[in-house]
A and B are shown apart, each in its own frame.
Chain A
Amino acid sequence: MTHAAPDVGDVHNTQPRRAGPGHAMALPILVVPALVIAGLLAMAVQAALPDGAGLLRALADPAFWTGLPAALGAIQASWLTLTVSGLAMGMMIFLMASGLTLVFGLMDVINFGHGAFISVGAFVGVSVLAALGAWVAAPGLGANLAAVALAVLAAMAATGAMGLVFERVIVRPVYGAHLKQILVTMGGLIIVEQLIHVLWGPDEIFLTRPEALKGALTWQGAALEKYRLLAVGVGLAVFLLMRLVLRRSRIGLIVRAGVQNGEMVEALGYRLGLVFVAVFVAGSALAGLGGVMWALYEEVITAPMGAELMVLVFIVVIIGGLGSVEGCFIGALLVGLTQNYTAFLEPKLALVSNIALMVVILMWRPEGMLPVARAK
C-alpha cells in the first residue's frame, strides 16, 4: 500500500478514449505514408507513359494500364533510394528546426539567427574532423564513428555556448517586439557569417566522409547510401529522445505548458526565463548537430549555408504548427520527401515544391498541422 503520488500510470481509465495528443496527431502523421505512396504511384505513371504522350490520353489507353505493373517494378528501386534520401534530408532538417520551433513557441521569439548556429556547427565539426584526419581516413568503423561523434560533440558544445551568448546579448533586449527581433537576429546572423569568413576564410571547404560511411548498401536492387541511413537513425533517435523528455520529465511538462501559457507557468512558481534559456541553448546545440550532419551529407560547407537552409527550416516550422515538436518532425519529413520526389519527376518544379507544399498544408490547416493550443 504505497501512498505514492499518482504518476501518469496511476489512476484508472474510465474514459474509453485515449487521452493525450495521440488522437490529434493521428491524421497529420498519416500524411507521410500517403506522400510516400503517392510518390511511388507518380513515378510509376511517369515510367509507364509513352514518350510524348499526354497524361489524359494515356489514361484512356488500356495499354497504359497493362504496362503499369511492369513500370511499378521498374521504378521500385529508385523509389526506395529517393525515399531513404528524402527521409534522411527530412531528419536533418528536423534536427535544425526542432530548436527553433520550441524557442518560438515558448517565448514568441523569431530567431533568424538560428541559421548561424547551423553554419558554425558545420565549420566547427568539419575542423574537428580535419584535425582527426587519421581517424577519418582509417577504414575501421569504430575510429570513423568516434571521429564523427567527437566532431558532433564539439559542434554542439560550440553552438550551445554561442546560443547562450546570443540569447543574453542579442535576443534578450528585444523580447516582445517582433520587428526588432527580426532585424536584430538577422544582424546577428550576418555578423556570425562574417566571423566565419574571418576565422575559416572566404572559400567553401570540401570534405570527404569517413571511410566507413562512404558508399552504399544494396537492398532489393536499390542503392541506399550508408550515410543517409545513419542520418535517418540519428534523427529518429533525437526525435524519440525529445518526445520522451517532453512527455515524461518535469522540465518537459514545464516546456509544454509554457508554450501554451507561459504566464500561468510563472504564476505556478516556475522560472520560465531559466527554462527558456535552457531550451534556447539546447535548440542551438541541435542546430549545430544538424549542421555537422548536413556538412557530411553535402560534403561541402560555406558560410551562408545556414541562412540558405533557414528557408527550409522556416517552412517546416510553419507547416508543423509553431511550437510543436511532433508537427515539426512530420513537416520535415514531408519537405524532404517532396523535394526528392519532385526532383526526380520534374526537376524544374523542385525549386517551388516546398513552397507549394506549404501552401497546400496551410490551406488544409491554416495554423499548421499540429498547432499548439495557445492561451493567448
Chain B
Amino acid sequence: MSDDDDAEKINLRIDRLSHAMRSARARARGETPPPPDPVPDPPAAPMDQDPAADTSPTMPMATEWAPPIDPPPCDPAPVQTGWNSAPAPDAPAWDPAPPASGWAPVPAPSYDPAPAVSDPTAQPFGTPVDPPPNDFIALPSDISEDATLNMPGSLGPKPWELQTPPPAPEALPDAPPAPLMPVEPVLPPLILTDAEHVPDPDIFTGDAAPDEAEVAYDLPEPATEIPPTPVVADVTAPSSPRVLAPRGPALLQLASVCTDIGRYHILHGVDLEVPTGGVTMLLGRNGAGKTTTLRTIMGLWRARAGRVALGGQDITRWRPHRIARAGIGFVPEDMGIFGDLTVAENMMLAARSTRLSRDRLDWIFRAFPALETFWRARAGDLSGGQKQMLSVARVMAEKRRLYLIDEPTKGLAPAIVDTLAGALQDLKRQGGSILMVEQNFAVATELGDTAAVMEDGRIVWAGEMAELAEDRALQARYLGLNVEAA
C-alpha cells in the first residue's frame, strides 16, 4: 500500500515537473510562458488544458485524454540528422523541442534528470547520440562476473568466493572447457547462423533432450486480429541505417489497457505492440507505469479495461500460470528468487515443461559463469548481481515466445551490467522476442530495436530505438535526459 502511495506521489511530482519543462520550453521559444498554476500543488486535470499541453503528443486513443484544443503546431525545427527527415505521412506531428542550443539561457528544471544513475561509474548516461556499434558484447570492458568477484577486496569476498578457479571440467566430461576467468570476451552464440533471420529457431537440434516447449504452447500460430493501433504506426517509419533484428508480425498487443492498483488508476489506456523477434524497450520515468504494464501482461494485475493479446489470442483474463504456459517468461523487478532454494532448484523449477537439457545449461553457464560456481548454494546467499543473473537465467531455462524483463540492471555494477546485457543480446540473437523495462539508457540503446515511452500510464511515443537514441529532444522531453548535457 505504501507502494501505491509512492506511485501517486511520483505521479504528482512528474506532473509538476513536466509542467515546469513545458513552460521552460515555451519561454525558450519566445512565447509567453503558460500562466503559473494557481495552487502550488495542482491536480493533474487542469494541467491538460493549459496551452502548453499542445506540445504533448496527443494520442487520440487514450480514453481520458482530452482532444487537443488546436492541432499541434508543426514546428520542424532544424534539429539533428535523422529525425523527422522522412516522417510517415500520417504520423502524429509532434512538436519537436527546439534545438538543444535553445536551452542554454533557461534554468534547468530542478530535478534529477537521470533516474537510474545510482552508480557514478556506470556507462555514460546522457550521451547516447552516436550509439556504440552493435558489437556490444565484444567490447573489452566485458569482464565476466567471475573476474569481478575475484578482484581482491572488491566486494568483501566471502570465503567460498576466494576459492578459484572452479575445478569444473572434471565434473562435466562432455562440457566444453569451463569458463575460467578473466573470460571469453564474446559469448559464443548457441546458434549458428544469425544471418538466416529465422524468427524462432529451434535451438537444440539433434539433442538427446528435445525441446518440448513448443508442444506446451497451446496456442495456434498468430492470426492477427487487432488492427494496429495508431501509436505504433510509425514503427515502420524509415530511420537509421542500423541493422535491426528480424521482426515479424506483432506478437503481443495491448489495446487501451487500464489497470488499477487499489484505488489508484495506474494505467490509463496503454496501447503497445511488441513485434516477433527483437527487443522492445519500455522506457519512461519512475512511476510512469512500466512495471505495472509488465505485471498486467503477466496477469499479476488484472486489467480493468482493455485487451491483451498474445499472438492474436486474448489473454487478458487468464491466470498467470496459464499465461506462463502460453510461453511468456517473466523476470520481475524484485527478481523473484526463491531464496531458500538452491540455484539448482531455482533452475529446475524454471524449466517447467522440459527437463533442463545439458546444452541449454551449458549455454546459461557460458553466459553466467557465477551460476555454475554456486550451483548448489542457497540462492538467498548470492550477491545482488548473481541473484539478478539467476533471475534472467531462470527465464532462459526454457524457450519462450516472449520474455518480459523488468529492469535487469537495477543497482548493478557496470561489469555485471555488461554480463547481463551480453546474455540478453544472445537471447535476442537467437530470435527471442523481448519486452524490457530499462532505466540505463546506454543499455537500452544497445539492446533495443524498438522503443515505447510511457508517461503517466500511457504510451506517449513509440518508434525505433535508434531514432530515440539519436534525438536528444525526444529524450529530454520524455525521459528527462540530456537537459544539462545540451
**In the bound complex, do residue A267 and residue B160 qualify as a contact, i.e. CB atoms below 8 Å apart?**
no
Flag whether B197 is at the interface (Cβ < 8 A).
Answer: no
**Listed stretches A15-23, A110-118, A224-232; interface member:** A15-23
Answer yes or no: A270 CB below 8 A from chain B CBs: yes
Set of chain B residues within 8 Å of A267, measured between Cβ atoms:
298, 300, 320-321, 324, 330, 332, 336
Could you tell me if B340 and A260 are in contact, using CB atoms closer than 8 angstroms? Answer: yes
Question: CB-nearest residue of chain B relative to A269?
Answer: B324
Cβ-based interface call for A372 (8 A)? yes
Docked pose: A250 CA to B349 CA in angstroms: 8
26 contacts between A and B (CB under 8 A): A2-B208, A4-B358, A5-B209, A5-B355, A5-B356, A6-B356, A6-B358, A6-B361, A8-B345, A12-B166, A12-B372, A12-B375, A20-B376, A257-B338, A257-B341, A260-B341, A261-B337, A264-B332, A266-B321, A267-B300, A267-B320, A268-B324, A268-B352, A269-B353, A270-B352, A373-B380
Q: Separation in Å of the A55 CB from the closest CB of chain B?
A: 44
Interface flags for A1-31 (1: CB within 8 Å of B; 0: not) read 1111110101111111101110000000000
Chain A residues whose CB sits within 8 angstroms of the CB of B32 once the complex forms: none
Known: A260-B340, A267-B332. A11 touches B372 (CB 8 A): yes
Q: Whole-angstrom distance between the alpha carbons of A20 and B345 in the complex?
A: 10
Q: List chain A residues, Cβ under 8 A from B339.
A: 260, 373, 375
Chain B nearest CB: distance from A196 CB in Å?
A: 37
Contact check, A12 vs B171: say whether CB atoms are below 8 A apart: yes
Write out the residue numbers on chain B whose beta carbons fall within 8 Å of the beta carbon of A372.
340
For chain B, residues 170 to 228, give those with C-beta under 8 angstroms from any C-beta of chain A: 170-174, 207-209
Kindly list chain B residues whose C-beta atoms are within 8 Å of the C-beta of A11: 171-172, 344, 372, 375-376
Contacts of B298 in A (CB 8 A): 267
Is A256 touching B376 in the complex (CB atoms < 8 A)?
Answer: no
Interface: B374 (CB within 8 A):
yes
Interface status of A271 (Cβ within 8 A of chain B) = yes
Instruction: Mark contacts of B83-103 with chain A using CB atoms, 8 A cut-off: 1 yes-contact digit, 0 otherwise.
Output: 000000000000000000000
A residues neighboring B (CB under 8 Å) = 1-6, 8, 10-17, 19-21, 250, 253-254, 256-257, 260-261, 263-272, 372-373, 375
Chain A residue nearest in CB terms to B352: A269
Q: Given B168, B174, B348, B380, which contacts A14 in the complex, CB threshold below 8 Å? A: B168
How far is B348's CA from A256's CA once the two chains are assembled, in angstroms?
Answer: 13
Extra 6 A-B pairs, beta carbons < 8 Å, given A12-B166, A12-B167: A8-B344, A20-B376, A250-B349, A260-B340, A264-B336, A271-B321
In the complex, A3 Cα to B362 Cα: how many Å? 11
Is the CB of B319 closer than 8 A to any CB of chain A?
yes
Binding site of A, secondary structure by majority: helix, strand, loop or mixed? loop
Q: Which of B208, B338, B357 has the most CB of A within 10 A?
A: B338
A-side contacts of B353, CB under 8 Å: 269
The answer to the question of B469 belonging to the interface, with a C-beta cut-off of 8 Å to chain A, is no
Interface flag for B373 (CB, 8 Å): yes
Answer whether A20 and B350 are a contact pair too, CB < 8 Å, given A5-B357, A15-B163: no
Q: Are B172 and A263 in contact (CB under 8 A)?
A: no
Band of interface residues on B: 35 or more
In angstroms, Cα B298 to Cα A271, docked, is 14
Instruction: Provide the residues of chain A in CB contact with B337, threshold 8 Å.
Output: 261
> In the assembled complex, which residues on chain B have CB atoms less than 8 Å from the CB atom of A271?
321
Residue of A nearest to B339 (CB): A373
A185 CA to B208 CA, complexed, in Å: 51
Q: Which residues of A contact B207 (CB under 8 A)?
A: 3
Q: Is the CB of A261 within 8 A of B336?
A: yes
**Once bound together, how far apart are the Cα atoms of A51 and B288, in whole Å?**
77
Q: For the complex, give the distance between the alpha carbons of A10 and B348 in Å.
A: 13
Which of A4, A14, A264 has a CB less than 8 Å from the CB of B167? A14
**A254 and B351 alpha carbons, distance in the complex (Å):** 12
Contacts A253-B348, A268-B352; A15 near B374 (Cβ below 8 A): yes
Residue of B nearest to A13 (CB): B376
Residues of chain A with a CB closer than 8 A to B372's CB: 11-12
Question: B376 contacts A8, CB within 8 Å?
Answer: yes
Of listed A5, A16, A257, A272, residue having the most chain B CB within 10 A: A5
Q: Which one, B355, B356, B377, contacts A15 given CB within 8 A?
A: B377
CA distance A20 to B338 in the complex (A): 12
With A14-B167, A16-B159, A264-B338 already in contact, the answer to whether A254 and B373 are too (CB < 8 A) is no
Task: Enumerate the 7 nearest inter-chain pairs by beta-carbon distance, A residue then B residue, closest first.
Answer: A269-B324, A15-B160, A264-B336, A14-B166, A12-B171, A266-B320, A373-B339
Instruction: Kindly provide the distance from the CB of A359 to the nearest chain B CB, expressed in whole angstroms.
Output: 27
B395 nearest CB neighbor, chain A only: A268
Chain B residue numbers with a CB within 8 Å of A20 are: 342, 376, 378
Q: Is B325 positioned at the interface, with any CB of A under 8 Å from its CB?
A: yes
Q: A51 → chain B, closest Cβ, in Å? A: 52
> A250 vs B374: C-alpha distance in the bound complex, in angstroms?
21
> What are the residues of chain A within 8 A of B209 when measuring CB–CB?
3, 5
| B334 interfacial by beta-carbon distance below 8 Å | yes
Whole-angstrom distance between the Cβ of A10 and the nearest chain B Cβ: 8
C-alpha spacing A311/B122, complex, angstroms? 55
B340 adjacent to A16 (CB under 8 Å): no
A373 partner residues in chain B, CB cutoff 8 A:
339-340, 380
Residues of chain B contacted by A257 (CB below 8 angstroms): 338, 341, 345-346, 349
